[in-house]
Structure 1
Amino acid sequence: MKTSYILGIAVIAVAIGVLISASNDVTTYANFAQATKSGDRVKLVGTLVKDKPVDYDPQKNADFMTFWLRDEAGEVRQIELHAAKPQDFERSESIVLTGEMKGDKFSASEMLLKCPSKYKDQEVYVREKEL
């Protein structure tokens, strides 16, 4: 066999392997009701409920915290995050969690925060000035 054929077969095999591994990592977005119904690992989008407690004691366990989240449907549930508390957590505009429902709580292993832009006030000021 020519080396170009062998190289082509190797490239195709690697591409198939990448596609298979990527398809196993697909997680769907859901709210609390959908996450409870499916029982699968999902991504959950919501906002921090600021009038409920955030429990984080880094000296007891630096990779565990609990807080309350309001999903996009308006339902409020307690979250157990099995990771360190991110910087500027309380300032976040929205939170994306990856995890699954365990009883009446959502157990998350990953969290992404959407924080307010430091340029937001400046943009508003510039727009007002131009008008």
Structure 2
Amino acid sequence: MKKSSIIGMIIIAIAIGVIMSTYADSSTYGSFGDAQETQKELHVVGTLVKEKEMVYNPEKDANYFSFYMLDNKGKECKVVFSGSKPQDFERSEQIVLTGQMVGSSFHANKILMKCPSKYTEDQVEVVEVSAQAKI
């Protein structure tokens, strides 16, 4: 075989490996029901249930925040976030969580909030919050 053929096959093999690892790490959108069935990391879109309590006590544990969310299919679930409560969380119009079900609660490692902009009524402000790794 020629050197160019060998190099070409190596490049193709590397490209296939990169594509497969990217596909394996990507999560999909779903609901709380889907998350309970698959036990894989999913993106869940929904709205905050403002009538139920939100638990965040930074004096006790600054990396524990829990609340209730209603997904787009109408299922309500308790959400636990291992990070601080995002600023203006109550004002969010829509929430996108990334995480997985643990028991009966959804453990999120990332929160993306879509909040109304404070400058114009037509625009929506997007804020993303990630849980920090505990060292």
Task: Please report the TM-score for the alignment, with normalisation by the length of structure 1.
Answer: 0.77
1:37-65 CA distances to partner (integer Å, 9 max, x unpaired)? 22211111111111111100112221111
Aligned residue number for residue 98 of structure 1: 98
Query: 2-side partners of 1:116 and 1:72: how far apart?
Result: 19
Aligned-residue Cα RMSD (Å) equals 2.3
Which stretch shows the higher mean deviation, 42-51 or 20-29?
20-29
Question: Which has the larger helix fraction?
Answer: 1
Larger Rg: 1
Q: Give the Cα–Cα distance (whole angstroms) in 2 for the partners of residues 10 and 118 of structure 1.
A: 52
1:32 CA displacement: 1.3
> What is the match of residue 129 of structure 1?
none
Structure 1 residue ranges without an equivalent (≥5): 124-131
SS in 2 for 1:70: strand
Aligned residues: 122
Deviation per CA, 1:7-48, whole angstroms, max 9, x where unpaired? 877765664453233222210111111111222111111111
Describe the shift of the 1:15–1:72 C-alpha distance in structure 2 as closer, same or farther (beyond 3 A).
Answer: same
- Comparing 17-26 with 70-79, greater Cα deviation is found at 17-26
Unaligned runs of 5+ in 2: 124-135
1:108-127 matches, cutoff 5 A: 108-121=108-121
Q: Which has the higher strand share?
A: 2
Distance 2:14 2:87 in 1: 38
Residue 118 of structure 1 and its aligned partner are, at CA, apart by 2.6
TM-score, scaled relative to structure 2: 0.75
The one-letter code of the counterpart of 2:39 is G
Deviation at 1:110, TM superposition (A): 1.1
